[in-house]
Structure 1
């Protein structure tokens, strides 16, 4: 068509080529057609009538199509003009719907959170802050995965999870620590165990003489215990090795032996009087931290950012450690 500058497919893919379907021009056209005159459109848009008329003329020139018929007392859309007006109305509605959905996300009316956690955090996480957060924002969906220390770090660093809860995390330049708290590893015994009445910290060599259950080597608690063994030249020979803190808790409750865990991991058992956490003498076991992590540089969605603040303020693991 003579005078047409409709874009070729290659031009439409080229970000340096400006599309003739400019938002402002389309709005001028739409309002002129909707209101029936250029003057009415100009008054509605608070611009000069010549601006509206000129921009519609530019749009017609760029497209090589007549978009409005200029009548004595107004304008009337051509078939092409009506098509563009309808499309502009649809585009505007779609955009406003998208913005409304984004506003819903901002208001936590919908959205999804991915959390990955060491098992020791789960009881406090589900029974406490996560449940209360969910009650306030019932339309949110969540995924909570339980994993080893290494898997928590990897999952957060690779953006598969918004938030991670990890114990004894090694340094990783990909991660940001949102909160941390010193949470020493304790000797966990049943209330009737002879050591339960001992006031002094327990040396690691005393644990080596007891039937002990420990986590697998990929877990943070086992990794720091191994370091303490090497430092003191003490070898623990576990009668039970597992990937489950629940199994260790039940093992100790049954009277079969003892284990080494941070106190927050058995907080509910301590409150019920079913387990006792005793301080250890080893400085390495005293220096371990619980960490709340995100990927460094990641801008969390609003729901995840708000949950992060809740977890910092309410999880027992990020408050003063105690036995």
Structure 2
């Protein structure tokens, strides 16, 4: 059976990401050099050294895509014809599109950098944020947020990551005001995330029209394998479908839990390209194994196995 290739999103970044690959692979060094030239940013410095930029959305997103695509580039010769679908978490959907050939590498880097800039600009005046909530059912959180919106608060369910694991998006002060109440409802944890944006909720509606124009110019209509949409958990494989789901992705919740459970019956397992965040989520969502590939040694081991 075929494999699914999966790609992490924002929050998976860390200092030193991709360094081992860079030091051991001429192909990865070339990708870093190309990325540095395209973005007019030293990607080695950005990814390998302590700096505030790595956690700034406009830099975080291309950095994660660069490392994810580097991993995929190294393993893709072994996977040709054996990929059932690609799937990414939020930003990771763009890494999946790049891997499938729907976005070329240069266009993908530019697009996600512009995406990050638009997100930061849109959220700047709205004091936005995100909060992870553990231990409550989806329906209870959906009802809770709806009631709070009726009272004038800006809070939405943004990431369906697993049973009892949800990320909320909205106004930072509104979210912070709900921490004690959520714990009173039975939440094991209600923790603000270190982010200055609120993705996958209506706060980003103002950027959708401009981002759609950028998408239309960047996307092509050639899919090496279908992509599972964050918006509806269904596969797509045409430019017109991609344009519709991606234009709405930033104002709709990420249905990661549903994407895994509704699409794993025809595959033998998952391969995570860069990071191990999704492997952790998948343990609770699927009985199929997830292989996380981050280091050059892990990749070489994978390539040498039958």
User: Into which bin does the TM-score normalised by the smaller protein fall?
Assistant: under 0.3
Q: TM-score, normalised by structure 2?
A: 0.23
Which protein has greater RCO, CA pairs closer than 8 Å, 6+ apart? 2
**Taking structure 1 as the reference length, what is the TM-score of the superposition?**
0.22
Q: Which has the larger radius of gyration?
A: 1
